[in-house]
Amino acid sequence: MKVFVFLLAFGSLSACEEKPIDFPKQEMMQESDIINQVNKNNRAAVKSALDKGADVNTKDNNGRSLLLIATIGKQTEIAKMLISYKADVNLQDDQLDSPFLYAGASGQTELVRLFLDHGARFEVFNRYNGTALIPACERGHVETVKVLAEAKGFPINHVNRLGWTALMEAVILGNGTQKYQEIVHILKDNGADLNIPDHSGKTPLQHAESLGFKEIARILK
């Protein structure tokens, strides 16, 4: 009789241990669904998923967070919603892009301001070991450059892996037109070091002169 009771109890325990748990599968389905809804710019569905407990910092197969996906898609309203649910503006994907870095590089000034107000970290760098400011200068995003250059504590003189500062990229990767002249003015007015050379020892002024950018050279002198 005792043996029978023991076997019965042991069998019951084994049955409990072997019972499949469905929660992880449901969670994976929920994560996949919210990623799809962000890609579709479906604000109502994204909010519903978040209210039901979806992780606001869910990442896709490329390591892109929901906020980064929204930033890449220029989905400002979804980005604002995700921020209201405490999305991390510094999470990097497999290529080291983050929402803040990408917003700066793509000239999305409204999002740059939003991310600065919600914990943007200046020591998080892109795959070129650069800041959000450097590609903003390269691509001529004047308003974005102004916001970043004026941000308290921003490393305006940071040198990336190529050996270039934001000022250097504005000169050598710009075309000398008015928007690049404005960017050089902004950087200068906000304390950029005008004499940091590249790996070859050439300064921004020397590059401007060799490229024939007379107005930029005048600003730098």
Do 149 and 91 fall within a single domain?
no
Is 195 part of any domain?
yes
Q: How do residues 48-70 score in pLDDT, each as one tens digit?
A: 999 999 999 999 999 999 999 99
C-alpha dist (Å) from residue 187 to 47, 74, 169, 193, 216: 39, 26, 12, 9, 12
Specify burial of residue 80 (Cβ count, 10 A radius: 0-12, 13-18, 19+). middle
Does residue 19 register a pLDDT over 50? Answer: no
Candidate from 3-7, 27-31, 104-108, 199-203 with smallest mean pLDDT: 3-7
Do 108 and 156 fall within a single domain?
no
- Amino acid sitting at position 197: P
Average pLDDT across the chain, whole number: 90
Do 150 and 119 fall within a single domain?
no
What is the value of pTM for the model shown? 0.86
Q: How do residues 160-182 score in pLDDT, each as one tens digit?
A: 999 999 999 999 999 999 999 99
Half-sphere exposure of 40 (CA within 13 A, CB side): 11
CATH of the domain at 161: 1.25.40.20
Do 115 and 150 fall within a single domain?
no
Does residue 17 register a pLDDT over 50? Answer: no
**Domain range for 197:** 145-221
Do 108 and 50 fall within a single domain?
yes
Using an 8 Å Cβ cutoff, are 43 and 82 in contact?
no
Using an 8 Å Cβ cutoff, are 209 and 172 in contact?
no
Do 152 and 120 fall within a single domain?
no
Is 139 part of any domain?
no
Whose CA is closest to 34, among 11, 63, 59, 14?
A: 59
C-alpha dist (Å) from residue 90 to 97, 100, 126: 9, 6, 11
Last residue of some domain: 94, 124, 154? 124
Does residue 8 register a pLDDT over 70? Answer: no
Do 48 and 117 fall within a single domain?
yes
Q: Give me the number of domains the chain comprises.
A: 2
Do 149 and 102 fall within a single domain?
no
Is 12 part of any domain?
no
Do 153 and 119 fall within a single domain?
no
Do 41 and 105 fall within a single domain?
yes
- Amino acid sitting at position 114: L
Is 130 part of any domain?
no
Is 19 part of any domain?
no
